[in-house]
Chain A
Amino acid sequence: MFQSRGGKDKSMNISNQIKGWFASLTIPFVLLVLWQVIVSLGYVPAIILPSPEKVFSTFMTNITQNDLLRHVAASLERVILGFIIGALGGFSLGLLMGLSRTAEKIFGPTFHVIRQVPVIGWIPLIVMMFQIAEIPQIIVISLAAFFPMTLNTLAGVRNVRKEYLELAAVNGFKGLKLIRRVIVPAALPSIVTGTTLSLGMSWAVMMAAEFFIDTSYGIGTRIQAGRSSFNMALVLVGIFTVGLIGYGLTITIEALGRAVNNGRDVHKEI
């Protein structure tokens, strides 16, 4: 009867997808060739820029002998924990300030002053206050997640069309029911954007946190170890790992966001 959303011919989709992959692999391939050329011609000493082959073999030995996966797992755990805490906090504060002008007057100015300070600026203070390495790491990461989530939730709630609120009023919706059934679903696209940005920020700030706060495991810690032992291959392994996992996290959360925004799982209780 009606077209399903985005319902195109399936075979078209697959061939487009393959074309898409080729397109997105072009730049990495060119960079790889360029890198190899620079190294082969000896423009840069190998100790500063190791060859792609050397980086790949370092990657393999790190997986098999040096617990690379355990480092990755430690970082991921921190990021996910910090992200969940920060994003939930940001969602709550954004919702509160979005719903109530009074709440915005109370929290708004302080919030906007604090968010001017780059998250890593808090590290020395937080480290002093919480001695155990894991806690300051998670606090710093959750701070990073907190700000974009607050701002986007606030914007989403503020921009709910007044027509929808009127419709809700006509149907006698008030309080929690109004928030749950109209305001949050209407603000959802903005909340999803906030979530995506929050996760990205958490992952990026994790690196900084691991540089500045000593821990035994973590992908940032690993890069730091490469730097202090002048092992640039290890540094590059760290950089690639962070980049690829960050990208994986982004496309996962974006896919989740698309699924939610499509309107299906938002509101199932009818």
Chain B
Amino acid sequence: MSKLKGVIEIRNLSKSFVVDNDPLQILKNINVTFSSGEFVSIIGSSGCGKTTLLRIMLGLESDYEGEALLDGEPIVGPGLNRGIVFQDHRLLPWLTVTENIAFGLDKLDRKEKKHVVSEHIKLVGLNGFEHAYPSQLSGGMAQRVAIARALANRPEILLLDEPLGALDALTRIHMQKELERIWQLEKITMIMVTHDVDEAIYLSDKVVIMSSRPGVINKIIDIPFSRPRDRASSEFIHIKAQILKEFHLGTEYPFAYAI
């Protein structure tokens, strides 16, 4: 029986850190399932534990109560079946674009490696920059390389930790479209942490809303609209208002776009 791949189940998960000898609860009783091929965003104010939750799924955080399962198996440490794009592109400055993308591809032989790298350079639209160093790239380009690097291992799940947070508004909108295109091509589960409500609605099948101290899930909202989505459509604006209400922010606030 082939099971669907790229399913993460979080069950009754709680996590505390010790700060100044006092335990500080970061996540409390989290229950959520990320289904195969879904695009899910996690939004919430700073300190709600969304990045910690992502790091648990990545396998960088252990020592929690409850369960985190990947395709039915408990998550133990990082693995190549989960790719990650960090907010800082985290490209290695001493490697070229090609070498950065090939960073985790040691299992492949030379020819396969070359093929996979050029395929992914094409996927993220960076043809012509194969031999550039990270310092020569703009923020958006660097983040594309980071996405290509994360996808090159063919993960079942791509985790994105505020991947577009460091980009300017226009590049950001453009990169959201790119992410959608890549997600549709790759057909894998993508889980993205973001501060940006518009971005979450534009990209996601499902938005998980968290609040802080301790981090709990307030609500999970399905976004059933067809794609590509129109940010100016009434259904878009309606659901945005609904999400903002969760944060006790009316749409009249000018900073409602970025919580």
Residues on A facing B (Cβ under 8 Å): 1-3, 5, 163-164, 166-167, 169-172, 177, 182, 185-186, 188, 263, 266-267, 270
Contacts and interface: CB of A to CB of B under 8 A. Distances in A.
Interface in B82-112: 82, 84, 86, 88, 90, 92-96, 98-99, 102-104, 106
A5 B78 contact: no
Given A170-B58, A172-B80, A164 B136 contact: no
B243 to A, nearest CB: 30
Nearest to A167: B90
Contact of B86 (A5, A163, A186): A163
A170 B92 CA distance: 14
Contact of A266 (B60, B80, B94): B94
B92 A182 contact: yes
Nearest to B106: A177
B142 to A, nearest CB: 12
B129 interface: yes
B177 interface: no
A166 B58 CA distance: 11
Given A5-B133, A167-B92, A263-B93, 9 more contacts: A1-B129, A5-B136, A164-B90, A167-B86, A171-B78, A171-B153, A186-B94, A263-B96, A270-B99
Nearest to B134: A263
Interface string B126-154: 00110011001100000000000000010
B78 to A, nearest CB: 5
Contact of A263 (B84, B94, B128): B94
B119 to A, nearest CB: 16
The CB with the most chain B CB atoms within 10 A, among A5, A164, A171, A267, is that of A171
A170 B136 contact: no
Nearest to B83: A170
A185 B94 CA distance: 7
Nearest to B153: A171
Contacts of A267: 94-95, 99
The CB with the most chain A CB atoms within 10 A, among B86, B88, B92, is that of B92
Nearest to B79: A172
A6 to B, nearest CB: 11
A171 B59 CA distance: 11
If over half of B's interface residues share one DSSP class (helix, strand or loop), that class is named, otherwise mixed; here it is loop
Interface of B: 58-60, 78-80, 82, 84, 86, 88, 90, 92-96, 98-99, 102-104, 106, 113, 128-129, 132-133, 136-137, 153
Contacts of B88: 163
A-B pairs with lowest CB-CB distance, top 4: A171-B104, A263-B94, A1-B128, A170-B78
Given A5-B136, A169-B60, A172-B79, A164 B92 contact: yes
B90 A163 contact: yes
Contacts of A172: 78-80, 104
A171 B136 contact: no
9 contacts: A2-B137, A3-B136, A166-B60, A170-B82, A171-B153, A263-B96, A263-B133, A267-B94, A267-B95
Contacts of A186: 92, 94
A263 B86 contact: no
B77 to A, nearest CB: 8
A171 B95 CA distance: 16
A188 B93 CA distance: 11
B114 to A, nearest CB: 9
Contact of B132 (A2, A164, A169, A182): A2
Contacts of B78: 169-172
Contacts of A188: 94
The CB with the most chain A CB atoms within 10 A, among B84, B86, B103, B136, is that of B103
Contact of A185 (B92, B102, B106, B132): B92
A177 B132 CA distance: 24
B129 A270 contact: no
A270 B60 contact: no
Contacts of B106: 177
A188 B129 CA distance: 24
B120 to A, nearest CB: 14
A267 B133 CA distance: 13
A255 B13 CA distance: 55
A166 B86 CA distance: 11
